[in-house]
Amino acid sequence: MKALLFIETDGEKVLGASCELISAVKALDAQGTALIVGSRAAADTVATFGIPVIFTETATDSDTLTQVLSEMVKELNPDIVLLANTTLAKDIAPRISGRMDLGFVSDVIGMNKTDDKVIYTRPAYGGTILEHIEVEGTAVVIVRNGTFSKPEAASNASVTEKKVEIPASVVKTKIVDTVIDNCESVNLEEAQVIVSGGRGMGNAENFKLVEELAGVLGGVVGATRPAIEDGWICRTHQVGQSGKIVAPKLYIACGISGATQHTSGMTGAKYIVAINKDEEAPIFEIADISIIGNVNEILPVLIEEMKKVKAK
Ligand SMILES: Cc1cc2nc3c(=O)[nH]c(=O)nc-3n(C[C@H](O)[C@H](O)[C@H](O)COP(=O)(O)OP(=O)(O)OC[C@H]3O[C@@H](n4cnc5c(N)ncnc54)[C@H](O)[C@@H]3O)c2cc1C
């Protein structure tokens, strides 16, 4: 069984989650080749894990990477193409799969090999069930971070430099700027009061109401994953299964439906206030106080009332 690993870098260093793919290859007892684009130093690092590396010096935009990976798939004809669960991988992996007519499995949390067949396990329906998937032919697979451990150092493998032709016609996008994500650290775990906002806040401007109420109450701002994915607030504020587990005295959930992936992170709260326009929202099942209505009308009133109480 042959595996092609796309090892991602931050421009210089290897991303930790990508390194875990090397352990996945070892667990499958497959013959792995790592592909690294752009950083020769990263290529040398990966070779120290005993896996042969193909290094290519090109741009690292997603159009170019899709082309490079597609060419490598043509040349090496792997049974599996492995990528770590990153934003970039989510962009390029489906494109390679579509372009090359290959199977695609995302968010894989387990791989089981029997008789040269691999069964991929991934959560579905918000993690309430697990799917076991088999792919005909080559599979493009995104592996969830933390599924495999970091690899052990081994005897140095080779690094082969390769030139891949990138026709100008395949590059449709251009990176015009790169901005460093300066997320502030936030101690949600120890906060006594948390005001959290979800998709129901509607937009970044409205989300400021959540921040304002948290400020008035001397609390900390929490958020659901959609609010973070929409860029309304930094990911350090995420509460839930893939965020922080919190246990404040007071948790105010604003425009949050109450999906298990969120509530599993906040059911330790002593007192829960939920504001939602849908009276059947699951969040009300665990709320001590349920406020049914438009959060963007209710929050300004709450903020004003709290200010009055504090001024007394
Ligand atoms: C593996 C995995 C891990 C995940 N981890 C997390 C995690 O750690 N944390 C997390 O939060 N999510 C996580 N999720 C996502 C989770 O499944 C839900 O999609 C998410 O929690 C829903 O967020 P939400 O409540 O903001 O959005 P929605 O479910 O879309 O709910 C929005 C709510 O707002 C209400 N609403 C809309 N407009 C208004 C208004 N004007 N006034 C009042 N109410 C309004 C709606 O009635 C609705 O109930 C994860 C998912 C997966 C698959």
CB of residue 296 inside a 6 A radius of ligand 1: yes
Distance from C-alpha of 269 to C-alpha of 267, rounded to nearest angstrom: 5
Structural tokens at position 156:
């140095």
Distance from C-alpha of 149 to C-alpha of 26, rounded to nearest angstrom: 11
What is the 91 CA–ligand 1 centroid distance (Å)?
23
Q: Tell me, what's the pLDDT at 102?
A: 98
Q: Tell me, what's the pLDDT at 127?
A: 60
Q: Tell me, what's the pLDDT at 121?
A: 95
What is the 200 CA–ligand 1 centroid distance (Å)?
8
CB of residue 291 inside a 6 A radius of ligand 1: no
Name the closest-CA residue to atom 37, ligand 1: 200
103-108, long-range: CB within 8 Å, 24+ apart, which pairs? 103/135, 103/136, 103/137, 103/138, 103/139, 103/140, 104/139, 104/140, 104/141, 105/133, 105/135, 105/139, 105/140, 105/141, 105/142, 106/141, 106/142, 107/142, 107/144, 108/141, 108/142, 108/143, 108/144, 108/147
Encode the chain (312 residues) as per-residue pLDDT tens digits: 999 999 999 888 898 779 999 999 999 999 999 999 999 999 999 999 999 999 999 988 899 999 999 999 999 999 999 999 887 898 999 999 999 999 999 989 899 998 889 999 987 775 668 899 999 999 999 998 778 888 998 889 999 999 999 999 999 988 788 777 677 778 887 889 999 999 999 999 999 999 999 999 999 999 999 999 999 999 999 998 888 878 889 999 999 999 999 998 888 899 999 999 999 999 999 999 999 999 999 999 999 999 999 888
Q: Tell me, what's the pLDDT at 163?
A: 94
CB of residue 241 inside a 6 A radius of ligand 1: yes
Q: Tell me, what's the pLDDT at 271?
A: 97
Name the closest-CA residue to atom 7, ligand 1: 240
CB of residue 235 inside a 6 A radius of ligand 1: no
Q: Domains in the chain, ordered, with CATH?
A: 2-170 (3.40.50.620), 193-311 (3.40.50.1220)
Q: Tell me, what's the pLDDT at 42?
A: 95
DSSP letter for 152, please. Answer: P
CB of residue 215 inside a 6 A radius of ligand 1: no
CB of residue 196 inside a 6 A radius of ligand 1: no
Q: Tell me, what's the pLDDT at 139?
A: 97
